[in-house]
Amino acid sequence: MKLNRRLLAQVRAATRTLMRKGPAGTGAVIQEAMKNATAMQRAAMRDMAVTMPAPFLGRDILPGKFVDGSYANEAGSRDYKLYVPSSYTGEPVALLVMLHGCTQDPEDFAKGTGMNALAEEMAFLVLYPAQSKQANPSRCWNWFNEIDQQRGQGEPSIIAGMTNAVMARHAVDASQVYVAGLSAGGAMATIMGTLYPELYAAVGVHSGLPFASASDLPSALAAMKGEFRRSQAPDRSLPIIVFHGDQDTTVHPSNGEELVAQVARGLPRRPAVEPGRVPDGHAYTRTVHRHHDGTVHAEHWVVHGAGHAWFGGNALGSYTDGRGPDASREMLRFFRTRR
């Protein structure tokens, strides 16, 4: 609790200072908040002396290939990293698109989530689009711009085009393409799944925001505090798994609640609520929404006492909390049931 209060005070002070200076570039205030969150989180992780499992110590020990690439269309260009596991032989495999958060990059995000090690274990490709500093000085995906909330426009068109380009160059099972992200990347993953339901079979959102919950920087700051606008999202409710810490002071946990409420509208059954606890780690509540036939459509994981960090992640990456639950593995478990 002391860490959360200190972080909240620092974020509020930084926000007031930057807003007094006038427009500081898109994402400047968000960047300051995320920098403070990173510093506090890393200090906490050092204090806990987290022990990291060997498979997550870095990509250099993995036998697969982590290759560079780029994609461009009328909306602009972005670089990317693609992890190809050593077991890939040209037979169709699943593809997971991973969208990093503010101040992160593909290498950092791969280390923090451990997704490349899981790709080795389960044999799938992982695509990490990279936001550029030219598009956003803080490397945030511009989820709060209206142009970037439209199909065929802005960053959604770039990410979708990049996904299709990778599918054209590698053997990918088109029924097993998924998108996930953290924070700003989680908000963009929501946008991608909403706008391109024929491309992505399911969505994973970690500490993110609902579809079109803001339209500019001031409304983005409000949404991050839980004062989001309730948009008229297209009636395309994809399967989704959501993780959020109930002590998140960067993106208020009500964003996760609203996101799940949006996709669960019209589901016939009352959700099942399943409490749990990671041994020597966080307690959590998992809420499961099902269709008439019992098929799971949405999962909402609220992690108690946790902040703005990828749960079960590696401290070598930013915004991670090794006390679990293992968000990466749980997302993959959810995705593998959806085609």
What CA–CA distances, in Å, run from 200 to 148, 149, 179, 192, 193?
17, 16, 7, 8, 6
Q: Which residue has the tokens 């679990």?
A: 324
pLDDT category, 229, cuts 50, 70, 90? confident
What kind of fold does domain 2-335 have according to CATH?
A: Rossmann fold (3.40.50)
* 304 in Cβ contact with 282 (< 8 Å): yes
Give pLDDT, residue 33: 53
Q: What is the pLDDT of residues 59-100, one digit of tens each?
A: 458 999 999 999 999 999 999 999 999 999 999 999 999 999
Q: Domain residue spans in the chain?
A: 2-335
The whole-number pLDDT of residue 78 equals: 98
224 and 185 Cβ atoms separated by less than 8 Å = no
Provide the pLDDT for residue 47: 39
**What rounded mean pLDDT belongs to the chain?**
86
Q: How far, in Å, CA of 332 to CA of 206, rounded?
A: 13
39 closest CA partner among 256, 301, 250, 278: 250
Rounded to the nearest angstrom, the gap between the alpha carbon of residue 77 and the centroid of all alpha carbons in its chain is 21
Higher pLDDT, 295 or 148: 148
Instruction: Output the six-digit token pair for 148.
Output: 């970037």
The CA distance from 238 to 227, in Å, is: 24
Stretch among 18-22, 31-35, 118-122 having the lowest mean pLDDT: 18-22
- Whole-model pTM: value is 0.85
Residue 293 confidence class, pLDDT cut points 50, 70, 90:
confident
Instruction: Kindly report, residue by residue over 103-140, the tens digit of the pLDDT.
Output: 999 999 999 999 999 999 999 999 999 999 999 999 99
Q: What percentage of the chain reaches a pLDDT higher than 90?
A: 73
| Residue whose C-alpha is closest to residue 287's, from 242, 237, 321 | 242
**In what side-by-side order are the strands of the sheet with 272-277?**
65-73, 76-84, 124-129, 93-99, 172-182, 202-206, 240-245, 296-303, 283-290, 272-277
pLDDT value at position 232?
A: 59
pLDDT at residue 49, as a whole number: 32
The per-residue pLDDT for 219 is 93
pLDDT confidence of residue 29: 53
For residue 238, the model assigns a pLDDT of 85
| Distance from C-alpha of 293 to C-alpha of 280, rounded to nearest angstrom | 36
Is 60 exceeded by the pLDDT of residue 5?
A: no
Best CA proximity match to 338, nearest among 271, 274, 255, 263:
263
Q: How far is CA 47 from the centre of its chain?
A: 26
Bridge partners for 79 per DSSP: 70
Q: Residues in the chain, how many?
A: 339
Confidence of residue 9 (pLDDT cuts 50, 70, 90): low
**Within 10 A of 198 (CB to CB), how many other CB atoms are there?**
8
User: 228 pLDDT band (50/70/90 cuts)?
Assistant: confident
pLDDT value at 233 more than 90: no
Give the per-residue pLDDT at 40.
Answer: 47
Q: Residue 70 burial (CB < 10 Å; 0-12/13-18/19+)?
A: exposed
| Percent of the chain whose predicted confidence (pLDDT) is above 70 | 80
Judged by average pLDDT, the poorest of 110-124, 204-218, 226-240 is 226-240
Tens digits of per-residue pLDDT, 151-197? 999 999 999 999 999 999 999 999 999 999 999 999 999 999 999 99
Q: pLDDT at residue 50 above 60?
A: no
Is 123:85 a contact under the CB 8 Å cutoff?
Answer: yes
